[in-house]
């Protein structure tokens, strides 16, 4: 009974997040659901408090990163990236794609997939339009790399951030272990996308229009980001939580960009932070009442290559069904007991896997198809075909590279 109640609350919270109805905001449903679970005794007050305490620091880290990303947007970083790509591409589509790969991989790794999806993709779309080249390969690259390139660092994806604490890895070791899988993922994306879009990537006969006045890259923001990365790397050596480095970087950028206090709060997305915390409590409640043992029965134990592959595949399937955020919360407690290798294999699954659909999960895709049934929408068949072409080899190659890295690094 308790398990069923927790699962119903979880399903309602996810449904609210996917459908985004105005009268039932996802954060309110999730927070209300979590409170009901506590009131009904499905999860004890101590249990809920423990879950909040264990995810609290991660939420603080996330808030700092969100504010940092927003301050980078204010500094004009993404417009400048668009302008730089337009000039450096010389109007050649394949060159532009290489630049988009670099920009998307870098943005995702350092500022998280949210920044690539929300801030970089519209800029890339406008850049391709301004150069009068097909935006199809460029936008596909952004969409795919937001997921695939989010393997590298704990800050590259919220899933990584959630798993980082449980993995008991230092920031540097996390990055060192994931560097090879990250590069393997990027290589597979490049091979598949350049082949799939080879006709769109032919050099054009048309003269590209003269680019608009170049916008210089904001040096201050770039220096802050570089120093932030250095800070993350040395944080474990000097025993400071990397969240403090992110907080300091966010403060420096706030001092520079001077957003209004209300804008800072908005950038930190308090409703989203509340949603994640409430979801963590709900999943903990469901996990203690049987969800964990159900997931554990699907997953092998240990860090053998086959075990890592199985974890990556199961995580990818789960992420595709619901979304990678709940998938991570569900799988994490099960794999965390087996050490860092299985946790990182899970991240390969939940990060790379969602490329099968363009909206993160089948649930969201189905909902969008219902809502936008009469609109011209994405050619789902084309996206799913390309998704399958990249996800299957990427899961195998990334996991293989992780297995190697676990032995060498």
Q: How far is the CB of 114 from another protein (least distance, A)?
A: 6
- Residue 377 binds another protein, judged by CB under 8 A: yes
Cα–Cα distance for residue pair 134/124, rounded to 1 Å: 11
- Of the candidates 196, 222, 213, 122, the one whose C-alpha atom is nearest the C-alpha of residue 390 is 196
Residue 117 sits in the site that holds another protein (CB under 8 A): yes
d(CA 319, CA 351): 8
Distance CA 389, CA 263 (A): 41
- Single out the residue of 129, 226, 306, 366 in contact with another protein (rule: CB under 8 A): 129
Q: Choose which of 83, 89, 108, 121 interacts with another protein (CB under 8 A).
A: 121
Query: Using the rule CB under 8 A, which residue among 90, 132, 195, 301 binds another protein?
Result: 132
- 41 vs 270 by CB, closer to another protein: 270
Residue 190 touching another protein (CB under 8 A) = no
Measured between alpha carbons, how far is 147 from 144 in angstroms, rounded to an integer? 6
| Residue 181 makes contact with another protein by CB under 8 A | no
> Under rule CB under 8 A, how many of the chain's residues touch another protein?
63
- Work out how close the CB of 27 gets to another protein at its nearest, in angstroms, rounded to a whole number: 7
209 binds another protein (CB under 8 A): yes
- Tokens found for residue 295: 């997931």
Nearer to another protein, 35 or 378 (CB): 378
CA–chain centroid gap for 125, Å, is 20
SS (H, E, C) 24-36: CCHHHHHHHHHHH
Distance, in Å, from the CA atom of 333 to the CA atom of 327, rounded to the nearest integer, reads: 11
From the CB of 139, what's the least distance to another protein, in Å?
5
Q: Is 321 in the site for another protein (CB under 8 A)?
A: no
The two tokens of residue 250 are 């966010």
Residue 269 φ/ψ region, left for φ over 0, alpha for ψ in the -120 to 50 degree band, beta for the rest: left
Rounded CA gap, 311 and 343, in Å?
A: 9
Q: Which parts of this chain interact with another protein (CB under 8 A)?
A: 14, 17-18, 26-27, 93, 113-114, 117-119, 121-122, 124-126, 129-130, 132-136, 139-140, 142-143, 146, 198-200, 202, 204-207, 209, 266, 269, 271-272, 275-276, 279, 323, 325-326, 354, 357-361, 364, 368, 372, 375-379, 382-383
């Amino acid at each position: 009974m308790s398990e069923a109640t927790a699962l119903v609350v979880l399903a309602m919270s996810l449904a609210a997040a996917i459908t985004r109805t105005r009268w039932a905001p996802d954060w309110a449903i999730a927070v209300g659901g979590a409170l009901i679970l506590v009131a009904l005794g499905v999860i004890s007050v101590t249990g809920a408090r423990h879950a909040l305490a264990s995810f609290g620091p991660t939420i603080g880290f996330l808030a700092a990163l969100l504010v940092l990303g927003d301050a980078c947007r204010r500094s004009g970083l993404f417009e400048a990236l668009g302008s730089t790509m337009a000039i450096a591409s010389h109007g050649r589509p394949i060159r532009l794609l290489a630049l988009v790969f670099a920009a998307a991989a870098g943005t995702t790794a350092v500022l998280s997939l949210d920044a690539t999806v929300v801030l970089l993709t519209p800029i890339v779309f406008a850049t391709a339009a301004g150069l009068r080249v097909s935006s199809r390969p460029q936008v596909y690259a952004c969409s795919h790399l937001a997921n695939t390139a989010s393997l590298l660092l704990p800050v590259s994806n919220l899933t990584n951030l959630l798993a980082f604490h449980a993995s008991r890895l230092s920031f540097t070791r996390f990055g060192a272990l994931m560097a090879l899988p990250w590069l393997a993922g990027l290589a597979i994306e490049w091979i598949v996308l350049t082949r799939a879009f080879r006709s769109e990537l032919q050099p054009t006969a048309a003269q590209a229009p003269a680019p608009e006045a170049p916008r210089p890259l904001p040096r201050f923001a770039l220096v802050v980001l570089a120093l932030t990365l250095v800070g993350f790397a040395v944080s474990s050596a000097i025993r400071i939580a990397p969240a403090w480095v992110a907080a300091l970087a966010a403060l420096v950028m706030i001092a520079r960009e001077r957003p209004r206090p209300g804008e800072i709060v908005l950038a930190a997305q308090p409703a989203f932070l509340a949603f994640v915390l409430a979801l963590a409590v709900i999943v903990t409640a469901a996990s203690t009442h049987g969800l964990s043992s159900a997931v554990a029965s699907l997953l092998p134990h240990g860090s053998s290559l086959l075990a890592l592959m199985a974890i990556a595949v199961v995580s990818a399937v789960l992420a595709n069904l619901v979304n990678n955020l709940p998938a991570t919360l569900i799988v994490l407690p099960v794999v965390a007991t087996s050490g860092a290798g299985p946790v990182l294999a899970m991240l390969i699954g939940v990060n790379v896997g969602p490329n099968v659909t363009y909206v993160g999960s089948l649930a969201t895709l189905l909902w969008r198809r219902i809502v936008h049934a009469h609109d011209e929408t994405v050619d789902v068949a084309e996206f799913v075909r390309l998704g399958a072409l990249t996800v299957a080899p990427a899961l195998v190659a990334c996991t293989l590279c992780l297995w190697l890295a676990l032995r060498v690094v």
